[in-house]
Structure 1
């Protein structure tokens, strides 16, 4: 990994990760408030929209998806550069267990940006409700649990965070690019939608593997900072995602009552 690839930008260099971690330690439970407001919006919004015509919102949807795509692409490049550097120079265990991802150069800003982004990403559901599209369980369950777990884990700087965040950035960079193209009216191959769902399934499987590695190294007495409560919740979360995405993949592409291709992954957007 070249030095140039890990060069810090000014906004990354000036970012104060200590203040960010301290704020999250003091305020992470506010994620429950966001989750409650999110559920209230879903219930209230769907009730209101029963009596109204659906909104098209194509231009706002293109802008929304494109913004999240660009954000995810930059996040994937920056965190990916850091993770590849650690993996290639210090090995797999260091890449999983090192807390440097939370406070090291390049990655520290994007780690905090990642966890904060899970709150505005709840806005995805706004388009589904206002456009009167089918809201599947996987969509809102995924949004809520990712928000709660991300805020809960960041405050403790738990092992595995670098892998979890980088994988999510990578998948979202492709996923939101797909959504932007679809919303803009471009025809995208159904195989691309299948590919995105497969990458998400792979991400969930990898999440389980990383949790197993953290647990194993902890049991061996090696330095891999986490705690059993976090490992249990994370494993249950990733395992549930794995099952739900497998079910979605089958129903969307092979089941008798196939979902629309635009419902790829956890959302129906078209």
Structure 2
């Protein structure tokens, strides 16, 4: 199994005290014992989504502009910091040890800087379900892509963290980065500020690129797992592949329907 020299990483990467003190072993043990609670959160979330829509049907929509700004802004700040911290770790691995080790090395889960943000990432998937409450209470259109994505990311993240599977550093860093863009966009829009259309196109393009890279990483983990130095399991690779493939299809369809088909319709009118 590939493993970075932790003392070397401590020398090269500066840590905050809370990152250094973080008990990664306790976090992994807790997740191994409690990861199945993600199914409970998912079930409660589904009840909130569809029960909430039924409850709001005869009632007027709520504005919630200020709470939405604060919610999106807080998640944007969290994602930006997470992207910077995990990104610095991944860049160090790439520059010092190469692309293969950046995928197969498990040190992302227990290394300096990244260990706290890896755990923060998987835990954040539960409160992020609150995104949908704003859609339901404001009586906006709820896409299948939205709630399906929330549920499956929560389940897969908790399921994978407990086993410290290969590829996690790429999966988490990419998601942090895309969410930094996405929640910043949501915060600005919620504040009624105008955002140029190309920025929205950029975000969806980044999401599609994330799914392509997710499939690529999953394929490489499968290939290198056969050689014994890329720790994962066939069931995890299968779920990751199915998840990223479904996301790729759904986000590509969203991109077509939102940015290409509407433009084509406008030109023909």
- Select the residue among 9, 20, 39 that pairs with 1:32: 39
| 2:121–2:172 Cα contact (<8 Å) kept | yes
Mapping of 1:45-64 within 5 angstroms? 45-64=52-71
CA distance in 2, matches of 1:256, 1:76: 33
Cross-structure match for 1:210 = 217
| 1:251–1:257 Cα contact (<8 Å) kept | no
- 1:3 Cα deviation (Å)? 7.9
| Structure 1 unpaired stretches of 5+ | 259-270
Residue 159 in structure 1 maps to residue 170 in structure 2:
no
- 1:218 Cα deviation (Å)? 1.3
In structure 2, the residue corresponding to 1:8 is in which secondary structure? coil
Indicate the RMSD between aligned Cα atoms, in angstroms: 1.5
CA distance in 2, matches of 1:6, 1:189: 37
| Structure 2 unpaired stretches of 5+ | 1-8, 265-269
| 1:159–1:226 Cα contact (<8 Å) kept | yes
TM-score, normalised relative to structure 1 = 0.93
Cross-structure match for 1:224 = 230
- 1:239 Cα deviation (Å)? 0.4
In structure 1, the residue corresponding to 2:244 is in which secondary structure? helix
CA distance in 2, matches of 1:225, 1:178: 36
| 2:10–2:112 Cα contact (<8 Å) kept | no
- 1:51 Cα deviation (Å)? 1.1
- Select the residue among 228, 240, 250 that pairs with 2:256: 250
Cross-structure match for 2:104 = 97
TM-score, normalised relative to structure 2 = 0.93
Residue 18 in structure 1 maps to residue 25 in structure 2:
yes
CA distance in 1, matches of 2:14, 2:212: 32
- 1:43 Cα deviation (Å)? 1.2
Q: Point out 4+ residue stretches in structure 1 off by more than 4 angstroms.
A: 2-5
Cross-structure match for 1:238 = 244
- Select the residue among 20, 41, 49 that pairs with 1:42: 49
Cross-structure match for 1:185 = 192
In structure 2, the residue corresponding to 1:255 is in which secondary structure? helix
Residue 140 in structure 1 maps to residue 147 in structure 2:
yes
